[in-house]
Amino acid sequence: MAKYTDAKCRLCRREGVKLYLKGARCFTAKCPIEKRGAQIPGQHGKKRSRGRLSGFGIQLREKQKAKRTYGVLEGQFHQYYVGALKSPQNTGEVLMQTLESRLDNVVYRIGFTQSRSLARQLVTHGHIKVNGSKVDIASYLTKPGQIISLTDAGSKFEFVAPNLNEKNNPAKWMSRKGTEGKIDRLPTRDEIGSDIKENLIIEFYSR
**Whole-number pLDDT of residue 127:** 98
When pLDDT is averaged across residues 45-69 and rounded to a whole number, the result is: 81
What is the C-alpha radius of gyration for the chain, rounded to an integer number of angstroms?
18
What percent of the chain clears pLDDT 90, i.e. is strictly above it?
69
Residues 6+ apart with CB under 8 A from 63: 77, 200, 201, 204, 205
End-to-end CA distance of the chain: 29
Residue 1 has pLDDT above 50, yes or no: no
Amino acid sitting at position 43: Q
pLDDT at residue 155, as a whole number: 95
pTM metric for this prediction: 0.80
The CATH architecture that domain 102-189 belongs to is: Roll (3.10)
Report the pLDDT value the prediction gives residue 53, as an integer from 0 to 100. 82
Q: What is the mean pLDDT of residues 168-183?
A: 93
pLDDT range class, residue 17, cuts 50, 70, 90: low
Mean pLDDT for 123-151 is 98
Mean pLDDT score, 27-42: 59
In the chain, where are the structural domains located?
A: 7-41, 102-189
